[in-house]
Structure 1
Amino acid sequence: MSPIHPAPLRNVHRLPRADGRVFLVTGGNAGIGYFVAEQLSTTGATVVLGSRSPGKAEDAMAAIRARVPDARVRSVRLDLADLSSIRASVDALEVSRLDAVVHNAGVALDHPPRRETADGHELMFGTNHLGHYVLTHWLMPLLSAAPSARVVTMGSFAAKSERLDPDDLQSRQDYRPKRAYGRSKLAQMYFGFELDRRLRAADSTVASVVVHPGGALDALTPSRPPAIPARPLHTRLPGLPAAVLLQGKHSGAWPAVRAVLDPAVLGGQLWTPRVLGLRGRPRLETVWQHLTDVSVAARLWDASRDLTGVDASGSRDAPPGRTAA
């Protein structure tokens, strides 16, 4: 008898049931993360919002329950800029397994000066990349306890034109905020692919998938009060012509949602919006050429391990340090 393969998820508006499963969405209280959480909540799964602000998490849960009355949604305080606090946040999940984590939370700065986390890391690199790197380490036992868990890393189209400088990962020598943001997202994407290579080498049941939301604008995003208040018409009108090529954050959530739920999605893949990588339903995209450089990925992994004192795919190595990468 031929094996039965689950059907792929082709319609993002008709999500499959996921009763009994548990998903964590970092930054699930706002923006794209909110819509990832809202959409996953329609499946019957338990969805946990990782948020720095308990008040904003409460607003997000109220907004989700207003649209999904039977939603199984709760929150845990999570500050990715404070590496020493992350283990306690994982303990606060109080679950025996985790079926997926969506690494979505992030910081974006538009102007100088360069800022640092409490651990002495450049704020965007330290939060967007190193925070999720450490979170993955502490989550790995819970992910490994699930039958086929997924780590879904939210990259950015802004990373496509950037290149990492392995000798200046924290922009100490030449700090430009927009470039530092793009590079922090690029580091996340390198991490997602390298994590999958290491998981495969260890014969792990956990898979790592990389996604990005395309061009997701506030002006094209529907309101979800009290989490996402309604925007006045005059602030939305200038963004409407952009809908030809861009989309709202509710649509930007689709690649991550598909990566969590679709049994046809495999580790090491890149999922993006269908139209020029900017808008539309999710599709499988060829991994960008610079992201296939395993030597850069390995150097980033080693630097991340040295900076944090943990190995995201396995054992703890040493106390977190303040090396100058």
Structure 2
Amino acid sequence: MPSLVRTRPWDVHRLPPAEGRNFLVTGGNAGIGYFVAEQLASTRATVVLGSRDATKAAAAMASIRSRVPGARVRHLRLDLADLSSLKSSVEALELERLDAVVHNAGVLLDEPQRRETKDGNELTFGTNHLGHFALTHWLAPLLSAAHGGRVVITGSFVGKSARLDLDDLQTTRDYRPKRAYERSKQAQMLFGFELDRRLRAVGSTTLSVVTHPGGALDSLTPSRPSVHVRTTGERLRGLPAGILVQGKEAGAWPAVRAVLDPSVVGGQLWGPRVFGLRGAPGLESVRGHLADTVLGARLWAASRDLTGVEPTFGPG
């Protein structure tokens, strides 16, 4: 893993221009993904919102355009829970190159019943990890066509300490929705680091970078009418928590920096600077399970077997 390096000052409110570049944000219609898309749109780049729901995507695009005059945003129908649909979704992008993809979409279920995707995978793991793993395979030619393209994995603070069970990736034993989510986010992060090792091994210019938003609460998130509305009561109740955590607008900052900052290096982990929970984005050490190269390689092999594909990049 690369060591921590000093970087130039980064202002989350003054992003560098990115006109002419193309970015895809999965789950860009809501939550942190929405704010990633909004902030990237402010750079004059073309931002594609990957979402299953065209109505929610339309509301998100209208909100972005109301805040970013002349924003170049469009919708791509994307269902990460249906692996057979991903190839046609990527073809529908109709792009010659993709400068970055932000793997942000994800599900966290409330109900105690275990559910499965169309492909028979546990829904949380299948959507959050396997869907993004397979999507990266189909996006590889477009990312390779953009010199220095980036795969940005949005992990989670809880994913850093989860314990992935390679013998039960589908959580068939003792299913608990929160634990399934934590494991799926660690799987995403392990994938991001393993992908970077493989990219470096073949001399690819594409980068794989892992980020996490820290503690990001709705009650600390500014309103975006038709996408998210925060009541006065919610705002007041959330103020004490603001000492330790932040809203989803700030939670988007690490991913946005990973897309835009020219000093970012593949294999890095970016998160909020203050205890990994809030504040401007900063580099974090990669340690523990996330630094386990054997675990990353075994997860990769299992993901390949479950999806029938694997991300493959050539040199250059």
| TM-score range normalised by the length of the shorter chain | over 0.9
Query: 2:235 & 2:283 partners in 1: Cα distance?
Result: 31
1:251 matched to which residue of 2? Answer: 250
Q: How high is the TM-score relative to the length of structure 1?
A: 0.93
1:219 matched to which residue of 2? Answer: 219
CA contact (8 A) 1:8 1:263 kept: no
Q: Which stretch shifts more, 18-27 or 306-315?
A: 306-315
Task: Return the offset for 1:313.
Answer: 2.6
2:4 matched to which residue of 1? Answer: none
2:67 matched to which residue of 1? Answer: 67
Query: 2:80 & 2:310 partners in 1: Cα distance?
Result: 16
CA RMSD of aligned residues (A): 1.2
Query: 1:254 & 1:124 partners in 2: Cα distance?
Result: 24
CA contact (8 A) 2:160 2:290 kept: no
Task: Return the offset for 1:9.
Answer: 5.8
Gaps spanning 5+ residues in structure 2: where? 1-6
CA contact (8 A) 1:47 1:72 kept: yes
Gaps spanning 5+ residues in structure 1: where? 1-6, 316-325
Deviations 1:92-113 (A, max 9, x none): 1110000000000000013310
CA contact (8 A) 2:63 2:225 kept: yes
Aligned partner letter, 1:256: A
Task: Return the offset for 1:288.
Answer: 2.7
Query: 2:209 & 2:227 partners in 1: Cα distance?
Result: 28
Query: 2:83 & 2:21 partners in 1: Cα distance?
Result: 27
Deviations 1:250-275 (A, max 9, x none): 00000000000000000000000000
Task: Return the offset for 1:236.
Answer: 2.7
SS in 2 for 1:226: coil
1:296 matched to which residue of 2? Answer: 295
CA contact (8 A) 2:144 2:313 kept: no
CA contact (8 A) 2:19 2:45 kept: yes
1:44 matched to which residue of 2? Answer: 44
Deviations 1:10-37 (A, max 9, x none): 1111000001000000000000000000
Distance 1:184 1:19, change over 3 A: same
In the alignment, does 2:298 pair up with 1:310? Answer: no
Aligned partner letter, 1:205: T
Task: Return the offset for 1:45.
Answer: 0.5
Q: Moved runs in structure 1, 4+ residues, more than 3 A?
A: none
SS in 2 for 1:141: helix
Structure 2 matches for 1:57-136, cutoff 5 A? 57-136=57-136
CA contact (8 A) 2:129 2:185 kept: yes
CA contact (8 A) 1:193 1:268 kept: yes
Q: How high is the TM-score relative to the length of structure 2?
A: 0.96
SS in 1 for 2:74: strand
